[in-house]
Amino acid sequence: MNTSKKNIEYQIKKQIDEREIAPSRDLWSEIETQTQINNNSQTKKINWFLVAACLVLTLSLGAVLFFDKDSKPSVQVAETNNTEVLKENPVKAEVINSPEIIQQNQGKYVELKSVPPQSKSESGTPEMIAEKKELPIIKENSKEIAAQISQIPAEKILAKADSAKVQVKKKRYVDPSTLLFSVEHKDVIEKTKGGSNVATIDLNTK
Amino acid sequence: MKLLFNNKKEDLLSRLKKQDPAAQKIFYDQSVKKFLSVAKSYISDIYQAEDCVIKAFCKIFKHIESFRGEGNFEGWARKIVVNECLNFIKSHKTVFYLDDVHASVLEEIHDEQIVFDFNVQELLDQLPDAYRMVFNLYVIEEYSHQEIADTLNISTAVSKTQLFRAKEKLRKIYFQQQKKLKNEHI
């Protein structure tokens, strides 16, 4: 470009650079409204992002909770089983220890049952083995037990049977000896009005 | 003093970047007249020029984050005004670019001596849009022919032709104006 001061282009540039034109109307109010609209639209965009983020968060939380629920029951079942076993053991120990029928009988039984519950409760599995071992012994000597029972007065047996029942109801445990007795002597057992089972034994027959 | 001025400018720029309405108003007050002058050199109608200035201000405020501080902020803002005006002309008017002129003809133009004052706007308003755009970009904005070609999506040869014809036309208009002024003086 020719930069001569006499040049027409130079004069045009100079005049345009120097001049200022005042607006014929209030342009600021229009700019202000348009910028506000822009800002609002921007905030709306941000809000949408927030909403999306919240949705993702809630979904992920829900998923985590859902899977937790799924996984927890298996763990709980395992726990409850353990607790049941643990709970059952003392009961069994009690049951094993409690029946007077067996206590009065053989020395073997006494030895077995007189084992302190603490030693039994030390480990779960040995108890189970002990129980398993006990059952056949009871089976073997069932006749003797029956004979022993016959010696005990009927009132006592009735009370024992009731107490055993109550235990069963409470702890949902059936005493193996009473169960065995009830199976072997079905004829003897009768139901009373109260709903309890009563075993009537003829003392004369041995 | 100069340091103080620069600090004020930086402060205004940082406030503009935070979308501070008070800073926007200050910037508007400072530059609206200048920007309207620039817009008027491209668009003869004042209302249309004002619309372009409004759009340009909105763009400046919206995209101020994209200004990285490289160069002059006012120059950056002025460029937005110019681009807005060019977009307006492109979208609202059909622009015709005339055929190439031989290079030797371009060199034959001789400068006339400018003696009298003249109305710039009157001269520019009489130029066709294609001439005016190329002339303004080359003379006022000091773009190169390559830059003009890139901005207007034309070849550099067309840009040169448009500039030649614009200058020719301006001289004709100028001398007509001068004749009128001389007659008025007499």
* Cβ–Cβ pairs < 8 A, chains A and B: 91
A60 or A152: which leads in pLDDT? A60
Hey, how many other C-beta atoms are within 10 angstroms of the C-beta on A130? 17
Q: Hey, are the CB atoms on A12 and B113 less than 8 Å from each other?
A: no
Q: How confident is the model at residue A125 (pLDDT cuts 50, 70, 90)?
A: very low
CB contact residues (below 8 A), chain B span 127-156, against chain A: 135, 138-140, 142
Helices A154-171 and A27-97: crossing angle in degrees, nearest 10, is: 160
The CATH classification number of B103-185 equals 1.10.10.10
Instruction: Judge whether residue A167 has pLDDT over 60.
Output: no
Q: Could you say which DSSP state residue B89 is in?
A: H
Whole-number average pLDDT of chain B: 82
Rounded mean pLDDT of A119-144?
50
Residue B117 has pLDDT above 50, yes or no: yes
> Does position B18 have pLDDT exceeding 50, yes or no?
yes
A135 touches chain B (CB under 8 A): no
- SS3 track for A121-160: HCCHHHHHHHHHHHHHHHHHCHHHHHHHHHHCCHHHHHHH
Is the Cβ pair B61, A25 closer than 8 Å? Answer: no
B118 to A11: CB separation less than 8 angstroms, yes or no? yes
Does A26 touch chain B if contact means CB atoms closer than 8 Å?
Answer: no
Q: Which of B16, B48, B50, B49 is nearest to A26 (CA)?
A: B50
> Would you say residue B172 has pLDDT above 70?
yes
**Are the beta carbons of B69 and B101 closer than 8 angstroms?**
no
Q: Is the pLDDT of residue A133 over 50?
A: no
Q: Which two tokens stand for residue B52?
A: 């372009």
Pick from B124, B118, B141, B97: nearest CA to B42: B124
The residues in B 42-101 lying below 8 A from A, measured between CB atoms, are 46-47, 50, 53-54, 57-58, 61-62
pLDDT surpassing 90 at residue B80: yes
What is the C-alpha to C-alpha distance for residues B51 and B46, in angstroms, rounded to an integer? Answer: 9
Lowest mean pLDDT of B13-17, B114-118, B139-143, name the range. Answer: B114-118
Please name the member of A8, A20, A28 whose beta carbon is closest to the beta carbon of B25.
A28
Q: Which residues contact B171 (CB under 8 A, 6 or more apart)?
A: A8, B112
At B55 the pLDDT is 92
Show residues of chain B in contact with A7, CB under 8 Å: 111, 114
Residue A127: predicted pLDDT: 47
Q: Which of A8, A16, A25 minimises the CB distance to B114?
A: A8
Mutate to test the interface with A, among B45, B48, B61 (most CBs of A within 10 A): B61
| Residue A96: band (very low, low, confident or very high) from pLDDT cuts 50, 70, 90 | very low
Whether chain B has a CB inside 8 Å of the CB on A23: the answer is: yes
Residue A33: list chain B partners with CB under 8 A.
Answer: none
Which is it for strands A189-191 and A197-199: parallel, antiparallel or unpaired? antiparallel
For residue B28, list chain A residues with Cβ-Cβ distance below 8 A.
27-28, 31
Q: Can you tell me whether residue B60 is helix, strand or coil?
A: helix
Residue A192: per-residue pLDDT: 75
SS3 for B11-37, per residue? HHHHHHHCCCHHHHHHHHHHHHHHHHH
Give one DSSP letter per residue of B124-185, joined into a string. Answer: HHTS-HHHHHHHIIIIIS---HHHHHHHHT--HHHHHHHHHHHHHHHHHHHHHHHHHHHHHH
Q: Which of A1, A8, A27 minimises the CB distance to B54? A: A27
Question: What is the average per-residue pLDDT within B111-139?
Answer: 80
pLDDT tens for each residue of A17-56: 888 989 888 889 888 888 887 777 766 666 788 889 999 9
Task: Write down the domain spans for chain A.
Answer: 47-97, 143-206
- The pLDDT score that the predictor gives to residue A170 is 58
For residues A19 and B38, is the Cβ–Cβ distance under 8 A? no
Q: What number is the ipTM of this complex?
A: 0.79
Residue B124 contacts residue A15 (beta carbons within 8 Å):
no
Enter the CATH code of domain B2-92: 1.10.1740.10
Domain boundaries, chain B: 2-92, 103-185
- In this structure, what token pair is assigned to residue B141? 């904005």
